Amino acid sequence: MVRRALGRASAFWCHPFGGGACLLSGATSEEGGTDEHDDAEHDGEPGHRGGGDDGRVGPGQPEPRAVCTAAGDRRTAHLAVRRRRPERRAASPAFHGVSVAPGPLTTMAPMRWPSLIAHRGASGTHPEHTPEAVLAGFALGADAVEPDLVPARDGTLVVRHEPEISGTTDVAAHPEFADRQRTIRVPQEAQAPGDRLDELSGWFTFDFDWAELARLAARERLPQLRPDSAGRAGGPLLRFIDLLELVRPLRTAADEPAVVVAELKHPSAFALLGYDLPARFLAELDGRFPVERVVVECFELLALLRLRELGYSGRLVLLASESTDHTALRAAGIDGVSYDKALLLQPDGVDLVADARAAGLGVLTWTLRPENAFLAERHRRPGGDGAWGDWRAEYAEVLDTGVDAVFADHPDLVRALLAERG
């Protein structure tokens, strides 16, 4: 349980949606001035929405406990958890000033981690997060699929990489939604160190009800790197409940039940807008999909702890791009850590994985991709960013660290390499 109530941001909406900045809640349109949709339909303040079972906060309801930023505080919703010295590891760990009591360890029957996770489906060959990508991921050998979850205006969880959807849908081709485009200003003093994001423009899921988003078609997010995928007809967008229905009857090539590894995107930022993503996630999951076939991941520790508080008994994974205090993390009731593969490709990558596993954590890593643009420099080959480099060598390095699971855009490449390795 979270022991220290964290301050709530009033002037700033703290999360980058792809950067690390604090965004002003008073958004402006691209032409300047106040966006009428911001005022009339979603004023950006928690408590101004209807409450109930939909995971949103209404008048009289308690503030979400997953908020982890405050005005003037440069921590972002990506809660980096740094490794502490062994002698400082305690029963009540403190992560970036947030004290947590030891949480309940997962009580479900032990189940092996899905070793190969289709990253947003088979996103190397299909537009990500589409029904075709999901089904292709399992057909190409994946044990699980990873959906990213963001809310629509009505609270529905939508399967999209980010709430800004101009790069992953055809929303710009819909004249009826032209007035939904807006620009969110990002003051320099509110940005995290290293950020260079002055503003973010586009169309955002929380400006649309699901019935409106359902009229859009998905498109390839990286058309220059993946022209073949860009040439495919865009499929429909999915709600989380649609994806659960799609995956529920599926079995893997090893005749195991297919698994869903769901990422909650920016829950503390959405809490400031009135959305309780952990509560909404549980409401949509309830009765639709076996919890033992679900893994929840997030960059925010507090969101994972909130899921435990709400009674979620499935596996929880902290996403991290920096090394983590593994003993403290496990003591808090977290089941696994998912590291940026760049950490595993460093000289001490094997030790990092071994330390996490010794603490009782599963270790996952993201994301295996064959294009030069995503490979470590030593594995790149001539031909430009879109050409495939020596992906076999990089994948082998990652697998040799002893990780339990990998995320991959091309599951078939990993499956073939695993078969070769025996």
How would DSSP label each residue in 311-357? T--SEEEEEESS---HHHHHHTT--EEEEEHHHHTSTTHHHHHHHHH
CATH of the domain at 263: 3.20.20.190
Does a cis peptide bond (omega within 30 degrees of 0) precede residue 69?
no
Per-residue model confidence as pLDDT tens digits over 64-99 = 333 333 222 322 233 233 333 333 333 334 443 444
Q: Is position 29 within any domain?
A: no
Predicted confidence at residue 268, as pLDDT, reads: 86
Q: Report pLDDT for 111.
A: 61
Question: Is pLDDT of 41 > 80?
Answer: no
Task: Please say if the pLDDT value at position 23 is more than 60.
Answer: no
Provide the b/e sequence for 193-209 (b: ≥16 CB within 10 Å).
Answer: eebebeebebbbbbbbe
What is d(CA 413, CA 12) in angstroms, rounded to the nearest whole number? 43
Q: Which residues contact 15 (CB under 8 A, 6 or more apart)?
A: 21, 22, 23, 69, 76, 77, 266, 268, 269
Tell me, yes or no, whether 54 lies in a domain: no
Q: Is residue 76 part of a domain?
A: no
Mean pLDDT (the chain, rounded): 78
Per-residue pLDDT tens digits for 324-364: 999 999 999 999 999 999 999 999 999 999 999 999 999 99
CA distance 220 to 386: 14
User: Would 89 be classed as within a structural domain?
Assistant: no
Please give the pLDDT value at position 55: 55
d(CA 318, CA 81): 9
Question: Does residue 242 form part of some domain?
Answer: yes
Please check whether residue 146 lies inside any domain of the structure: yes
The pLDDT, as a whole number, for residue 192 is 44
State the pTM of this model: 0.78
CA neighbours within 13 Å on the CB side: how many for 141? 16
> How many domains, the chain?
1
Quick one: tokens of 402?
Answer: 């002893």
Mean pLDDT, residues 195-210: 85
- Backbone angles phi and psi of 363, in degrees to 5: -125, 125
Mean pLDDT highest for which of 184-188, 224-228, 363-367?
363-367
pLDDT at residue 298 is higher than 90: yes
Cβ-count burial of 41 within 10 angstroms (0-12 exposed, 13-18 middle, 19+ buried)? middle
Q: Is residue 231 part of a domain?
A: yes
Phi, psi of 383, deg, nearest 5: 125, -5
Q: What's the pLDDT score for residue 91?
A: 34
pLDDT tens across 248-277, in order?
A: 999 999 999 999 999 999 898 888 889 999
Range of the domain at 380: 116-170+205-421
Tell me the percentage of the chain whose pLDDT exceeds 70. Answer: 70
Residue 234 placed within a domain = yes
Q: Report the half-sphere exposure of 86 (CA within 13 A, side-chain side).
A: 3
Separation between Cα atoms, residue 105 and residue 315, nearest integer Å: 9
Per DSSP bridges, beta strands 98-99 and 94-95 are antiparallel
Choose the weakest-confidence range: 23-27, 168-172, 309-313.
Answer: 23-27
Kindly write down the DSSP assignment for every residue of 115-132, as one continuous string: SEEEETTTTTTS-TTSHH
d(Cα 334, Cα 341) in Å, to the nearest integer? 20
